[in-house]
Amino acid sequence: MDEFLKIFSENQVIVMVGETGSGKTTQIPQFVAYSDLPHTKGKLVACTQPRRVAAMSVAKRVADEMDVQLGRHVGYSIRFEDMTEPGTTFLKYMTDGMLLREAMNDPNLERYSTIILDEAHERTLATDILMGLLKGIAKKRKDLKLIIMSATLDALKFQKYFSLRSDANAPLFKVPGRTHPVEVFYTQEPEPDYVEAAIRTVLMIHRAEEPGDILLFLTGEEEIEDACRKIKLEADDLMNQDPSSVGPLVCIPLYSSLPPQQQQRIFDPPPPAINDGPPGRKVVVSTNIAETSLTIDGIVYVVDPGFSKQKVYNPRIRVESLLVSPISKASAQQRAGRAGRTRPGKCFRLYTEKDFMKELEEQTHPEILRSNLSNTVLELMKLGIKDLVRFDYVDAPAPETLMRALELLNYLAALDDDGNITPLGEMMAEFPLDPQLAKLLIVSPEFKCSNEILTITAMMSVPNIWLRPNNQRREADAAKAALTVPDGDHLTLLNVYNQYILNKHERNWAWNNYLSLRSLQQAENVRAQLERTMQRYDVELVSLSDQKKLFINIRQALVCGFFMQVAHKEGEKGNYLTVKDNQVVALHPSCGLDTQPEWVIFNEFVLTTRPYIRTVSEVKAEWLIEFAANYFDLASFPDGETKRALQRAWAKRAGKIAGRGDGSNGPVRDPKRRKTDVRKGDGRD
């Protein structure tokens, strides 16, 4: 503490490295609060976390340690839950995303005397943007102190980045961890099939190693369930063959979409010995969730095949997808460390030492380099950052990614042609949504269906609501068919939500209909939050009683947000071509449309067994040229079926206007020309 307080009092910015078990997350913020005395200045100390649960549980722990009531002097702030008391709270744990939101309305973060960014090595999108902002703010606000806390040895990068004067890096404060040593083993040769090798290794440990639980890292749900089945089968075999030398084994799967109750099973004790035989062993087979978010005590052996699923973004076709990729050295170290939490452990890496040294990257690529940045760019614009290309990033994203984001925002009329944020863009930034969804919601009152669009928007921003267990596919499909609206998947989402609300009194309704209750509850939460934001910005909540008209209007409103995600049917084979990007796509098999309409609008482009579009509704060519005239301008299309279809629609429209005689159909509003009226749709008549 003395050492920390000295360095803290002498510097504006500190980089701190503390390994797991060093207590940095609980202790440093307390030291800061005692030294800084934020409450005497009417300010707060903030400590950010990448995850909600961490912000919550650490705040609780620290409140206990300080013997104060949680939510008063020490509190936390996460989405949907503010456990702080204005005027009283002086130490606040919060998610990094939450602090970023606050910055949008308080660009200098004046409320804070010290800001601590914890787990900076994880390089979440929000942490990266915050580092950029805070570097700028620290130059303006000499009274603001910053602490960048990280678990791994990438501190030098942060020290260099935060050298506020050119001649000196930010000082480093280092605290050792308190974990047990872990012995690391490598394979002699690369393993061609890492799942098979992993199963073999787990069984080898079970047969030959001392008692102690095993943690195996795999990449996804299916792989994990599959491996659990195989391990269980073989372990039972071993025990039956030789009950005197092999004990019982339980295999527990762990991934985020598992219901919380089943996740709790990882804390169960290992199975008891049978008839004085060898003691039982617990094997947890987990995704990356056990690398960062959950710690399981009692793990002595870690099996690390060296892979995880990672998000990748391809700006050329604007698609984010998940790829099984090699992990980084930092990740491998983190995984190994999981074996040494209670006593010395062993880590079996299923790759060669040479590959570890030569092939693995030092750090996982920061999220900012692997994501679609439309949302982030709009947030930065709202924060007053005008020149995004020259913003001081820790790692600058690809120029093409930024261009894609700017292009989308300009088409949505969130940015004008000079790259300035428009009043519409300012409003869009206030909604915790992707820009397309925010735009859709804001224009929806014009179509007299904001009540419904609010629901659809909420449903589109939560994880998949459809459950389809492997052994009950037919039942799940039948339940889904009963809820499907044939006009489009967006209307199906609306129907599901409405049915869920109507049947709330029925305890097992969601389960009986093969729907994820968790997702539905989350949609309800999101819907309420969005409704509050709508009220704040006077976006009316309206609806139509004529259902036929309502369903048409909903799909017209969709065009205003998603006109860049339209596909046109080519030929009779059921192939679609995305507009402008010309990607050949198919309707996802989960799509509920009963025909194959000529034009469709979609929520997602997914690249799995082949390119699919998911959550799809029918639209009309007339709507495209009416509500997104600028984007569907013929001059911007190459020759082809899509262009010819659009030409017919334009010709039909011209005929109508000519027929009216006076040409008084009003101006065709182009999003780029509209700078004042923020409420209207793109080119809405």
Q: Is 612 in the site for DNA (CB under 7 A)?
A: yes
- One-letter amino acid of 281: R
Per the CB < 8 A criterion, the answer to whether 297 and 282 are in contact is: no
- CA-to-CA distance for 244 and 264, rounded, in angstroms? 31
Give me the least distance between CB of 75 and DNA, in Å please: 14
Q: Is 53 in the site for DNA (CB under 7 A)?
A: yes
Footprint on residues 490-509 left by DNA (CB under 7 A):
none
Q: Is 328 in the site for DNA (CB under 7 A)?
A: no
Q: Could you tell me which stretch among 6-14, 399-407, 542-550, 582-590 binds DNA (CB under 7 A)?
A: 582-590
DSSP designation for 333: H
Two structure tokens written together for 524? 């309800």
Footprint on residues 365-404 left by DNA (CB under 7 A):
367, 375
Report DSSP letters for 112-134, one per residue: EEEEEE-SGGG--HHHHHHHHHH
Out of 68, 238, 396, 606, the residue judged to bind DNA by CB under 7 A = 606
CB atoms within 10 A of CB 287: 22
Residue 53 or residue 233: which is nearer to DNA going by CB? 53
DSSP designation for 144: -
Spatial CA neighbour of 596 closest among 634, 564, 570: 570
**Strand locations in 557-668, DSSP E?**
566-570, 575-578, 584-587, 599-607, 611-619
Out of 192, 469, 589, 666, the residue judged to bind DNA by CB under 7 A = 589
Residue 107 or residue 432: which is nearer to DNA going by CB? 432
Q: Could you tell me which stretch among 148-156, 303-311, 442-450, 497-505 binds DNA (CB under 7 A)?
A: 303-311
Out of 433, 564, 600, 649, the residue judged to bind DNA by CB under 7 A = 433
Instruction: Please tell me whether residue 662 adopts helix, strand or coil conformation.
Output: coil
Q: Is 461 in the site for DNA (CB under 7 A)?
A: yes
Q: What is the signed CA dihedral for 473, 478, 480, 483, rounded to 10 degrees?
A: -170
- CA-to-CA distance for 456 and 441, rounded, in angstroms? 9
Distances (CA, A) of 491 to 415, 484, 497, 616, 676: 30, 8, 10, 10, 31
Residue 165 or residue 610: which is nearer to DNA going by CB? 610
Q: Which strand ranges, in their side-by-side order, compose the sheet holding 81-83?
A: 81-83, 74-78, 91-95, 44-49, 112-117, 145-150, 13-18, 172-175
The dihedrals phi and psi of 77, each to the nearest 5 degrees, come to -140, 115
Q: Is 35 in the site for DNA (CB under 7 A)?
A: no
Give me the least distance between CB of 309 and DNA, in Å please: 3
Q: Is 432 in the site for DNA (CB under 7 A)?
A: yes
Q: Is 261 in the site for DNA (CB under 7 A)?
A: no
Out of 41, 139, 386, 473, the residue judged to bind DNA by CB under 7 A = 473
Out of 82, 191, 407, 477, the residue judged to bind DNA by CB under 7 A = 477
Per the CB < 8 A criterion, the answer to whether 279 and 265 are in contact is: no
Q: Is 322 in the site for DNA (CB under 7 A)?
A: yes
Out of 9, 245, 293, 647, the residue judged to bind DNA by CB under 7 A = 293
Q: Is 219 in the site for DNA (CB under 7 A)?
A: yes
Q: Could you tell me which stretch among 198-206, 330-338, 461-469, 543-551 binds DNA (CB under 7 A)?
A: 461-469
The count of chain residues that interact with DNA, using the rule CB under 7 A, is 49
Residue 50 or residue 248: which is nearer to DNA going by CB? 50
Give me the least distance between CB of 574 and DNA, in Å please: 9
How long is the chain?
685
**Strand locations in 96-210, DSSP E?**
112-117, 145-150, 172-175, 182-186
Give me the least distance between CB of 683 and DNA, in Å please: 27
Residue 609 or residue 676: which is nearer to DNA going by CB? 609
Out of 245, 543, 608, 647, the residue judged to bind DNA by CB under 7 A = 608
- CA-to-CA distance for 617 and 651, rounded, in angstroms? 24
Per the CB < 8 A criterion, the answer to whether 364 and 318 are in contact is: no
Residue ranges binding DNA (CB under 7 A): 50-53, 78-79, 95-98, 101, 124, 126, 219-222, 255-257, 287-289, 292-293, 308-311, 322, 367, 375, 432-434, 461, 463-464, 468, 473, 477, 588-590, 606, 608-609, 612, 614
